[in-house]
Amino acid sequence: MITVTTLKQLKAKQEKITMLTCYDASFARVMETAGVEILLIGDSLGMTVQGHTSTLPVTLEQMIYHTQNVARGNQTALLLADLPFGTYEADTISAYQNAAALMKAGAHMVKLEGGMHQVEKTAYLTARSIPVCAHLGLTPQSVNTLGGYRVQGRDESAAEALLTAAKAHEAAGAALLVLEYIPAPLAKTVTAALSIPVIGIGAGKDCDGQVLVLQDLLGIYPKPPKFAKNFLQGQDSILAAISSYIAAVKAGTFPESIHTFEA
């Protein structure tokens, strides 16, 4: 069974960690067979499964439903579930209640988006036995305030703020950090500065691991982002595609420069 201790050990050994989004039991079994360490029940399902243009419409009840489905198909991977928009921003008590609901549904850890303003939530949850993954950089739930899906942390002040927030979340007890859509040099700096594992998506090859949206990995989502790669191409099965992704991440051959933002 993959646990937070396992992930720390992988970072210490400098072995790359693999994560994929997963929304049902069937794909959970395939990913587990392939050897994915972390299955992310992402609110990205709002776009990939439900057909919305953002993650904002996803409800807690829907996240609970999909977490339960994935949990039924999984035996060994760590299950990370997103706290959806509007379920944790207001206060620590509602954040705890909603995170606890996801844990009862089968999650082993919850993910919340945001910098310094969310550090209090990270501390509150971890103090109450709920492991937390922080999410910095492009935070999709803030797409309307960020002005779209754009690279974050490009200027010096933004990069410094992101690093400060990453350290603060770690100090508050976060067990994992996801960095999305930021320049590779910044991701390298953050990864080196933290003792907890850092998982990148559009953040370069120097993170402790990588995550992709399943539909991007399979090449079935229209207009995939620059940082995605179709691993099904040239393979004869979904299992082979996922295995190819794992092998590329472990070997350090994914992401390549074409999937990376340098500045």
Domains of the chain, by residue range, sit at 4-259
Report the alpha-carbon distance of residue 204 to residue 157 in Å, rounded: 20
Tell me, what's the pLDDT at 148?
Answer: 83
Annotated binding site for Mg(2+): 43, 82, 113
β-bridge partners, 112: 134
How confident is residue 179, by pLDDT bands cut at 50, 70 and 90? very high
List, for residues 23-52, the tens digit of each pLDDT value.
999 999 999 999 999 999 999 999 999 999
List, for residues 133-148, the tens digit of each pLDDT value.
999 999 999 999 988 8
Annotated binding site: 43-44, 82, 111, 113
Q: What is the pTM of this model?
A: 0.97
The residues assigned a catalytic role are: 180
Count Cβ atoms below 10 Å from residue 12 Cβ, excluding itself. 11
Fold for 4-259, please state it: TIM Barrel (3.20.20)
Q: 184 near 135, Cβ under 8 Å?
A: no
Q: 202 near 186, Cβ under 8 Å?
A: no
Tell me, what's the pLDDT at 71?
Answer: 98
Annotated binding site for 3-methyl-2-oxobutanoate: 43-44, 82, 111
Q: Which of 23, 11, 3, 15 is nearest to 218 (CA)?
A: 23
Tell me, what's the pLDDT at 150?
Answer: 87
Does residue 228 carry a pLDDT above 80?
A: yes
Does residue 72 carry a pLDDT above 90?
A: yes
**Residue-averaged pLDDT of the chain:** 97
